[in-house]
A and B are shown apart, each in its own frame.
Chain A
Amino acid sequence: QSALTQPASVSGSPGQSITISCTGTSSDVGGYNYVSWYQQHPGKAPKLMIYDVSNRPSGVSNRFSGSKSGNTASLTISGLQAEDEADYHCSSYTSSSTVVFGGGTKLTVL
């Protein structure tokens, strides 16, 4: 199972919006509405931010939103804040009953 494709890095200024893409295949991202996104600060464990493509767990800011079109999912963060600077990882359920992650994207808040 090949990893999902994410950009290595993205950046934005405080208050701006950014979008991180996550590209897979019809056997994972495109085949199921089971894409999730995780935020990871340096030296910390990942934290669930989005599940089932566009749902936010309780306590996650509504500045975070998710979507999907075909084989590509996206995470959008609006009103960027300094605390959003972190690594972001996408994942998807697959046709093999496994889970596959993307390579991760480093978000820099300028």
Chain B
Amino acid sequence: EVQLLESGGGLVKPGGSLRLSCAASGFTFSGSAMSWVRQAPGKGLEWVSSISAAGVSTHYADSVKGRLTISRDNSKNTLYLQMNSLRAEDTAVYYCTKSPGMVVVVYFDYWGQGTLVTVSS
């Protein structure tokens, strides 16, 4: 059974940093591209960032480029999102997602339960 377990969310002040983690199990982690998708309170889904299976290729939404960094450790079956220079508009539930392909992300076949990030003074 595929499981994606996010952690690391919490309350942070504007301008602060946070690192999210996603522990994966039940599938070949090193064979799947992974992504982060977020959902602000009462809003729709927003794609944030994706990383290829080998970690060589990354993509970011314009709204987070230069502030958020996606990475992965295939030896630990873990996906990360380093979040710097956080803003109020980054407040959201962050979902870890898996895609069936290795490089190109076109859809998300499994989702974690999400971790809440709140940016407020």
Enumerate chain B residues within 8 angstroms of A51, measured Cβ to Cβ.
Answer: 106-107, 109
Measured CA separation A57–B104 after assembly (Å)? 19
Number of residues on chain A facing chain B (CB within 8 A): 24
Q: Which of A11-19, A67-75, A76-84, A97-105 contacts B (4 or more CB under 8 A)?
A: A97-105
Given contacts A45-B112, A45-B114, A98-B61, contact A36 B107 (CB under 8 A): yes
Q: Which of A34, A46, A102, A104 contacts B95 (CB 8 A)?
A: A46
Task: Give per-residue flags for B29-58: 1 if the beta carbon is below 8 A from chain A beta carbons, else 0.
Answer: 000000101000001111100100000000
Number of residues on chain B facing chain A (CB within 8 A): 23
Q: Is the CB of A34 within 8 A of B111?
A: no
SS of B interface (majority):
loop
Chain A: minimal CB distance from B109 (Å): 5
Task: Give per-residue flags for B46-82: 1 if the beta carbon is below 8 A from chain A beta carbons, else 0.
Answer: 1100100000000101100000000000000000000
Q: B113: CB under 8 A from chain A?
A: yes
Q: Is the CB of B45 within 8 A of A104?
A: yes
CB-nearest residue of chain A relative to B96? A45
Q: Is the CB of A47 within 8 A of B106?
A: no
Q: Is the CB of B44 within 8 A of A99?
A: no
Enumerate chain A residues within 8 angstroms of B46, measured Cβ to Cβ.
Answer: 101
Chain A: minimal CB distance from B106 (Å): 4
Q: Using CB atoms and an 8 Å cutoff, list the residues of chain A in contact with chain B.
A: 1, 3, 32, 34, 36, 38, 45-48, 51-52, 57, 89, 91, 93, 97-104
